A and B are shown apart, each in its own frame.
Chain A
């Protein structure tokens, strides 16, 4: 049958079209509204677009019975992608809410650009989660990267911001070059960019004597993609970029950009390299390839947690903490169990709540004290008791202590890697977690036990207050009753939800 562009049911791509439409709308409004009119309404328009896209994603989840594909899996809509899309949309909604408070300070002049670049970055992230073709995945990756390069540098008068943006561009482009070099070898071995055909042909290529090239492509891909999740060989950009970037953008990079990187890595590695067997067709080479990843995970955890102890700048500390968290998230790769995706997504979700809450409070406190030093938190408990308690909850969740979502996220990961007899990695994870208590509790110590320069009350702006409230409630609920929370959400969204549909070519 002759398929044309009109023979697809495009309604499943409504979330992407919505985000694209609103990004265009915001950029046009920014252009035509003129200089004198206040642009604060643009934030609400962008937020409306994100919420609307979220509603469409939920609708898709309920309507979907099997994966839908467009143009030979160039775009596809499946449960795996939808789960990640919900994560991105929640993250971006929080970013916009925090940004409303940030904009009042007036350091970023280009309000319109700020919001539509966030939306186009979101679109890139969504494409990364919903494609099974190397070309589309690459374009999505670059859309996200280019938007975030500019967002980091939007404080044009600040030298730190310029520097951070340039460092981000250079290390990002290097990572892109590595990724692309890996992809070009994959393409050369298979002659296709479709991930499902790559699965078969890569296995074929490996067994017909191109084993070295297959390994080479894997190493290049991992080295390049580690950049997006700020994992070990490519993590050096994170502290500088977080320090120079506007704080809401730092939180966007921590969560949305990192989650998008994970969505891409999981999809590419698990579909492309899954079928690779050794010469005698006996054992799977894939398990051996995963050794690379466990080494990366171990190095990330060690570097992230030990370097974070030395930091006095709160944003740099959060950056190193983010490197360590990327390491924790890579641990389940090394021991793949049937709950692998659940663990990863649950951890990402817990991480999202804790990071956004923490960054929201960090933004308010650093703006108030005019310094990003840890001492800015001194005596916060006496100035704003509830805020200090919320910050304590987020720090506990990031550290992975009980009655917080982060505890269960970490617990699941450690437990399953012990079950798979992966003792050394579990050991490193537990050891470095204990080290991490030192710097997370450093913040708590400042808030409760030190006296600050001022006793004046600190009030949170409305948007920031909403984010802090939602994040702390979510962290507590998922920390107290994780099973109930997950099952409730699953029953509301999609009873037949399965991550395994990532492996079935769409229809």
Chain B
């Protein structure tokens, strides 16, 4: 039995939506960052699946994935660093308490 392209795409789409939900709904800033990772990993699944089963299958997609993973790691590192700076100023990493700037 072979797994078709559409099932890969479906998994990626579900993962993307789960990530989006988490990023928008969760209180804990770490979970928000993790959810964003999920969204980026959905992209990776897409790219790798396309590089095997796409219309013009080519290896470029796998190369693209390497770049995506690297950049995603860098992004989260920056996010965590900023979160640490904030934690030092105020002992909380709850997203819904970040409301010091209004109007």
Contact = CB atoms under 8 A, between A and B. Distances in A.
A191 B62 CA distance: 11
A157 interface: yes
Given A149-B82, A162-B82, A180 B43 contact: yes
A142 B70 CA distance: 11
Contacts of A239: 101
B67 A135 contact: yes
15 contacts: A145-B75, A146-B78, A153-B85, A159-B86, A169-B82, A170-B32, A173-B75, A174-B36, A184-B61, A187-B60, A188-B49, A188-B55, A190-B56, A205-B55, A244-B101
B58 A167 contact: no
Max chain A CB contacts within 10 Å: which of B58, B60, B90?
B60
A160 B75 CA distance: 21
A205 B54 CA distance: 11
A199 to B, nearest CB: 14
Tell me what chain B mostly uses at the interface: helix, strand, loop, or mixed.
Answer: helix
B61 A166 contact: no
Interface in B56-78: 56-58, 60-61, 63-64, 67-68, 71, 74-75, 78
Interface of B: 16, 19-20, 23, 29, 32-33, 36, 39-40, 42-43, 46-47, 49-50, 54-58, 60-61, 63-64, 67-68, 71, 74-75, 78-79, 81-83, 85-86, 89-90, 98, 100-101, 103
Given A162-B85, A169-B79, A176-B75, 10 more contacts: A135-B63, A146-B74, A153-B85, A163-B86, A166-B98, A169-B78, A174-B39, A177-B20, A181-B46, A183-B43
Interface string A279-296: 000000000000000000
Given A181-B16, A189-B54, A162 B86 contact: yes
A205 B55 CA distance: 8
Nearest to A197: B56
Interface stretch (A14-22, A42-50, A305-313, A349-357): A305-313
A393 to B, nearest CB: 28
B55 A190 contact: yes
B54 A187 contact: yes
Nearest to A134: B64
Contacts of A134: 64
Contact of A181 (B36, B42, B71, B90): B42
Given A153-B85, A163-B98, A177 B39 contact: yes
A437 interface: no
A247 to B, nearest CB: 15
Q: How large is the interface on A (under 10, 10 to 19, 20 to 34, 35 or more residues)?
A: 35 or more
A177 B19 contact: yes
Contacts of A193: 60, 64
A196 to B, nearest CB: 14
Query: Which residue, A142, A177, A311, has most C-beta atoms of chain B within 10 A?
Result: A177
A137 to B, nearest CB: 11
A170 B79 contact: yes
B54 to A, nearest CB: 5
A201 interface: yes
Contacts of B83: 166
Given A153-B85, A160-B100, A191 B74 contact: no
A142 B103 CA distance: 30
A187 B63 CA distance: 12
A184 B86 CA distance: 34
B34 to A, nearest CB: 11
Given A150-B78, A174-B39, A188-B46, A240 B101 contact: yes
A181 to B, nearest CB: 5
Contacts of B40: 173, 176-177, 180
A458 interface: no
A339 B99 CA distance: 44
A411 interface: no
Given A159-B100, A163-B100, A163-B101, A188 B75 contact: no
Contacts of B39: 174, 177, 181
B86 A166 contact: yes
A56 interface: no
A310 to B, nearest CB: 7
Interface in A174-217: 174, 176-177, 180-181, 183-185, 187-193, 201, 205, 210
Contact of B56 (A156, A158, A201): A201
Q: Which 9 A-B pairs have the closest CB atoms?
A: A191-B56, A188-B50, A177-B39, A162-B86, A184-B46, A180-B43, A173-B36, A169-B79, A165-B82
A138 interface: yes
A416 B31 CA distance: 48
Q: Which of B32, B61, B64, B101 has the most CB of A within 10 A?
A: B101
A164 B86 contact: no
A50 B43 CA distance: 36
A244 B100 CA distance: 10
B55 to A, nearest CB: 6
A157 B74 contact: no
Given A153-B85, A163-B98, A192-B58, A180 B74 contact: no
Interface string A109-139: 0000000000000000000000000110011
